[in-house]
Amino acid sequence: MQTRIATSNDVDSVVRIIRTSRDAYLPYAKSPHSSDSFQCWVGNKLIPAHRVIVAQIANDDVGIVATSQADGIGWIDQLYIAPGHLRQGIGTALLTEALTALPRPIHLWTFQQNTSAIHFYKHHGFTAIEFTNGENNEEKCPDILFALR
C-alpha cells in the first residue's frame, strides 16, 4: 500500500471512496447533499482546507483520511475505506499516518450505529467523551465524540 497527499486531481477518487463507503456501511446516515454539491464540497472545501491522504493498492485508490487542527485540537474529519477493502490494514495505516501529523488531543465524531468504527477507534486508544442525539450533524443521526489524549 502507498499513500499520497490528495490534490485537485483526486477529487473524483475521494468522492467515489466516501460515497461508496457511506452507501455500503452507513445506509442509515443518508447524505443531505446531491452528488454535484458533494463533488463541489470535496473539490472546493475538503481537499484545499484539510490534509487529505489517499491510500492506494495496485493503482487503485482504496481509502482516505482527512485531518485538520482547530484551537489546539487535532481532528480526524473523515476516514473511509472503499467497499471490499476492509480488514486489510488500510484504516490502521491511514489512522497511524494521521496520528503522527496531528497534535494531541485528537478528536473525531462517529455515528452511534457505526459499531465497526467504534470498535476500531477504541482499539486504537480513543475514548468516548460525549454522546449526542445527532441534532448538530447533517444526517441527524446520534453520534459520539471520541478523544485520544
pLDDT for residue 78:
97
Find where cell 467515489 sits.
16
In angstroms, the CA 11 to CA 74 distance is 23
pLDDT for residue 33:
83
Q: What percent of the chain has pLDDT over 70?
A: 100
Alpha carbon distance, N-terminus to C-terminus of the chain: 28
Q: Over the Cα atoms of the chain, what is R_g? A: 14
Please, what are the domains in the chain?
2-148 (3.40.630.30)
Find where cell 499520497 sits.
4
| pLDDT tens digit sequence for 61-114 | 999 999 999 999 999 999 999 999 988 999 999 999 999 999 999 999 999 999
User: Which residues have C-beta within 8 Å of that of residue 112, sequence separation ≥ 6?
Assistant: 118, 131, 141, 142, 143, 144
Q: Mean of the pLDDT values across residues 21-38?
A: 90
Residue 35 has pLDDT above 90, yes or no: no
Residue 50 has pLDDT above 90, yes or no: yes
Residue 32 has pLDDT above 90, yes or no: no
pLDDT for residue 41:
94
